[in-house]
Amino acid sequence: DFMKQGHGMLLLYTLKNPSFPEYSFSSESGVMCLDFHSDHPHLLAVGFYDGNVAIYNLKRASPQPSYRSSAKSGKHTEPVWQVKWQKDDMDSNRNFFSVSSDGRIVSWTLVKNELVHMDVIKLSADETTMQGPEGLQLQTLGSGISFDFHKKIDYLFLVGTEEGKIYKCSKSYSSQFLDVFEAHHMAVDTVSWNPFHLKVFISCSSDWTVKIWDHTIKTPLFVYDLATAVGDVAWSPYSSTVFAAVTIDGQAHVFDLNVNKLEPLCSQLVVTRKKNKTTHVQFNPADPVIIVGDERGLITCLKLSPNLRKKPKEKKGQEVKKGPEEEIAKLEKLLSLVRQPGKKE
């Protein structure tokens, strides 16, 4: 409950025993987001409601985080909506980024025994100053709530804001962003690069829509209206054209653009209790499983039926091409239909 903030918890489960967590940690503030380090999965970066970030080390038996920000060390002044690990820096120090409603995107580096912070970017709205009382100039900040880093171009990342804009940013220009997309009418809840195609990203918003973009074009290539606010969207790790979205009416939707460009292959009710909203969705990186989280703190694990994870049919004597190049070509073919309208299919 945002009005009555209490304690937070961080629970780690295995699918082998869903009824009891393997690890549990309590925190003074509500946990907003987390990210496992891809090379060192025992390291977990966490962002809190009170603006702090912390790192838990699962190899240590301590209930306290190994590293934690503080008011002295640059903590955010608003909730941290997302944290993401980065590649180790030049001195092979581990580091991650955080984004918060306070408009700052901060990079945190583990140096010896402390977290060193650096503001990478401060989002400011286009009309940077407002006339305040008695002619005071007030600075207005855009408030970031989601971000994602490009899979190949190391310096490039996207930030979605509460105002519905998506900023394309570079780690090397802190005062300037490269581009702005007027993406949604309400907060951009998630923005995510396609894991295969290097130009494509997806965004979703409380304005009921999911949009697919090419970052070199200012208008979306595909727009899906899901008739209620969309909480989260995620690309599948196995196909460039498959993604899942969850809406606050408790439904999960799975799309495959290669099969149907217009509507989901499946929309299924996940939460049954009234007044409960589905808020998060994530694919398992190896198995055809998605997990969906909801507002009551329940996590539902769903297995995708075979027709939701169709692989290309193998014809006799013909080898089906597989691999990243194929996935890129598949999506590129769909995009080329949208990019140049008027061309015959």
Give the pLDDT confidence of 323-344 residue by residue, as tens digits.
777 888 888 887 777 776 544 4
**Span 1-15, mean pLDDT?**
79
pLDDT of residue 344: 42
Q: Please tell me the CATH superfamily of domain 8-339, with its number.
A: YVTN repeat-like/Quinoprotein amine dehydrogenase (2.130.10.10)
What ranges do the domains of the chain cover?
Answer: 8-339
* Buried b / exposed e along 81-118 (16+ C-beta atoms within 10 A): bbbbbbeeeeeeebbbbbbbbbbbbbbbbbeeeebebe
Specify whether the CB–CB gap between 252 and 246 falls below 8 A.
yes
CA distance 159 to 136: 29
User: Phi then psi for 256, rounded to 5 degrees?
Assistant: -135, 105
Which runs of E-coded beta strand occur in 58-123?
Answer: 67-68, 80-85, 95-100, 104-111, 114-122
Q: Where are the alpha helices (DSSP H) in 140-184?
A: none
For residue 102, give the amino acid letter: D
- Alpha carbons within 13 angstroms on the beta-carbon side of residue 14 total 4
Question: CA nearest 107: which of 164, 195, 170?
Answer: 170
List the structure tokens of 2: 């945002």
Q: How far is CA 270 from CA 129, 194, 232, 250, 297, in A?
A: 45, 25, 14, 6, 13
**Chain-centre distance for alpha carbon 326:** 25
Is residue 293 classed as helix, strand or coil in its secondary structure?
A: strand
Q: pLDDT digits over 153-206, tens only?
A: 878 888 888 888 888 888 776 666 777 888 888 888 889 999 888 889 999 998
- Alpha carbons within 13 angstroms on the beta-carbon side of residue 154 total 5
pLDDT of residue 341: 52
Paired with 283 in beta bridges are 290
CA distance 317 to 138: 69
Least confident of 13-22, 61-70, 90-99, 202-211: 61-70
pLDDT of residue 203: 92
For the chain, how are helix, strand and coil distributed in percent, rounded to 5?
A: 5, 45, 50
Q: pLDDT digits over 221-265, tens only?
A: 889 999 888 989 999 888 888 899 999 888 899 998 888 888 888
Q: pLDDT digits over 122-164, tens only?
A: 776 554 444 445 554 444 556 777 888 888 887 888 888 888 8
pLDDT of residue 244: 92
Is the pLDDT at 82 greater than 70? The verdict is yes
Is the pLDDT at 81 greater than 90? The verdict is no
Q: pLDDT digits over 260-290, tens only?
A: 888 888 888 888 777 788 889 999 888 888 9
92 Cβ contact list (under 8 Å, min separation 6): none
pLDDT of residue 131: 47
CA distance 239 to 87: 24
pLDDT of residue 287: 85
**Chain-centre distance for alpha carbon 182:** 18
240 Cβ contact list (under 8 Å, min separation 6): 194, 195, 196, 197, 200, 327, 328, 330, 331
pLDDT of residue 314: 52
**pLDDT: which is higher, 83 or 133:** 83
**Span 314-321, mean pLDDT?**
53
CA distance 166 to 33: 20
Specify whether the CB–CB gap between 21 and 11 falls below 8 A.
yes
Could you tell me the strand order of the sheet in which 289-294 lies? 278-283, 289-294, 299-303
pLDDT of residue 234: 92
**Span 99-107, mean pLDDT?**
83
pLDDT of residue 14: 87
> Tokens 């009416």 identify what position?
249
**Span 11-25, mean pLDDT?**
87
**pTM of this structure:** 0.79
For residue 61, give the amino acid letter: A
CA distance 177 to 167: 7
